[in-house]
Amino acid sequence: MPGVEGRIDHLNADVKGQRLFVAALGNNTLEVLDLAQGKRIRSVIGLREPQGVAYVAELDQVGRQCRPSNRSKKSLPEPNGLSTKAPSNAHCRDG
């Protein structure tokens, strides 16, 4: 994936919306791909080694887990409205 370096950890799909969510651990990002168009539509930056991603179709929301705590983190808004910056969860962000 252009612009993404390092290890990719987990993937999850929104089958109806034809999106793929990628926890790019080595890049410290969550990538959102449009499968119909074959391109990236969002990159959530500033995450600390995202290691898991879950899409909940009923809520149309994405959640992710980051190191070091492995505790579930706050769900992100529906990806069409996703900011390109991570939510202000200090335990899941660098810095």
Per-residue pLDDT tens digits for 61-94:
888 878 765 454 444 544 444 543 444 443 455 4
Q: What is the pLDDT of residue 2?
A: 86
Q: What is the pLDDT of residue 11?
A: 93
| Entry pTM | 0.72
* Residue 94 Cα to chain centre, angstroms: 15
**Residue 95 domain-assigned (yes or no):** no
Domains contained in the chain, number: 1
Per-residue pLDDT tens digits for 17-55:
999 999 999 999 999 999 999 999 999 998 888 888 888
**Residue 59 domain-assigned (yes or no):** yes
List the domain range (segments joined by +) for residue 49: 11-77
**Residue 4 domain-assigned (yes or no):** no
